[in-house]
Amino acid sequence: MENNEPEDQPGVVFSFQGAFGPPTLGHYTAMKLYAQQVLHDYPGHKILMLFMPTAAGSKVHLQPTQNSRKHLLQAFCNYLTGEFVGNPITFEPSEIEYELYRSGEDTATYRTIEELRSRFSKAEIVLGMGLDNMLQLPYWKNVIQYKDNVTKIYVASRKLSPAEKSNTRMFRNSQGGVIVNFDINVPKWGPITLDQAKQAFQIEGSTAEDLTNALREKTINPDVVYHCNLILPEFVMVGEGGEIPGTSSSMMRYYICKYITENNEEYKEEYKEKVRKLIWGDNPTDEGVRYTIDDYKDNYAEIFKEGCPENKEYDAIFEEIFPQFLGGKKTYKKGGKRIQSRKRKRTKKRRRNRRYNYSKKG
């Protein structure tokens, strides 16, 4: 690729790695918190904040939705720019991984970092990622190379679930300093992953199952100090106060699919509003909502060929994040859908009729 290095380079280039399929309020909030932290950590620097969407991969919905994801991320950048007026900071959605994908090159994050370094030779490179990605970072392709170009890794923090706590351990480096929690379940991503796992954790085995079993045996004792031998950039946890809402992309894909397949107009509007809330929260705009839904609708056969995603208690999670949805009215499940109580509606109608009858008698 050509070197498109600008004459007036930023001092810091921040790359928020993620699928963003689709982008959600959690991504927006995380980027806002990242920006605040970068401004604090790098005073006096010109800063470029990039959303770096994955072009394609094992997730079937990514390649068909490249345009809508970039469109919505651009809308996020427009609003973020308004929130940081007067600061030396710029927000942009990047197409670097899209370009690598179109040219047939590897789109793993190490290549993204190399491309950022070639374009911004004088800048400090900082990565941002969600906690799910950080937990599996030791298994990422060529992660050992990150230290050569990346100064820090900012992580959007949240509480570990019980399952995550049981499947992760807190690791320390060779000097005894705490790194972060990493997953001890070795992904089945191929020989590169296995080689890195052996190097990182000093374990032996020929398969992912062998290495996972070895890790579990090694870390069964809670008093053991676990070491990761990889030299990694410094980690900075952001949002530990719970500011980042749990608006997952998988939840939004579920509601998009329900909207597309629903025939009842009242329920369709409810699903659409849930999608809007998952993107914008209390912001009254619906920018990009229709574009995003239409992208999934146009590619329905490919993305939802096995039907709508499983409902992983999304209604309960949604109502916890947005307790005032539907004006705080209680909803009930019927036939897999959540609807307002018909009993309440009948009661209101009876009262209205009684008032009307009394007035006629008078």
pLDDT one-digit tens code per residue, 71-87: 999 999 999 999 999 99
User: How many domains does the chain divide into?
Assistant: 2
Return the bridge partners of 356, or none.
none
Strand partners, 332: 339
Q: Which residues contact 186 (CB under 8 A, 6 or more apart)?
A: 139, 193, 194, 197, 208, 211, 212, 215
Same domain flag for 53 and 131: yes
Token pair belonging to 141: 């392709």
Report yes or no on 188 lying in a domain. Answer: yes
Domain holding 163, by residue range, is: 12-238
256 & 229 share domain: no
Whether 346 is covered by a domain: the verdict is no
Say yes or no: 222 and 253 in one domain.
no
**Which tops the pLDDT comparison, 209 or 347?**
209
pLDDT at 119: 96
**pLDDT recorded at residue 183:** 92
278 lies in the same domain as 234? no
Question: pTM for this one?
Answer: 0.85
Contacts (Cβ under 8 Å, ≥6 apart) of 319: 325, 331
How does DSSP classify residue 174?
T
- Tens-place pLDDT, residues 174-204: 676 777 889 999 988 888 888 888 888 888 8
Give the mean pLDDT of the chain.
86
Q: Residues 15-22: what's their mean pLDDT?
A: 96
Contacts of 228 (CB under 8 A, 6+ apart): 138, 171, 172, 173, 179, 182, 200, 201
- Shared domain for 260 and 232, answered yes or no, is no
Predicted confidence band at 360 (pLDDT cuts at 50, 70, 90)? very low
Question: Which whole number is the average pLDDT over 328-355?
Answer: 42
Of residues 139 and 170, more confidence is placed in 139
189/302 same-domain check: no
Check whether residue 191 and residue 159 sit in a common domain. yes
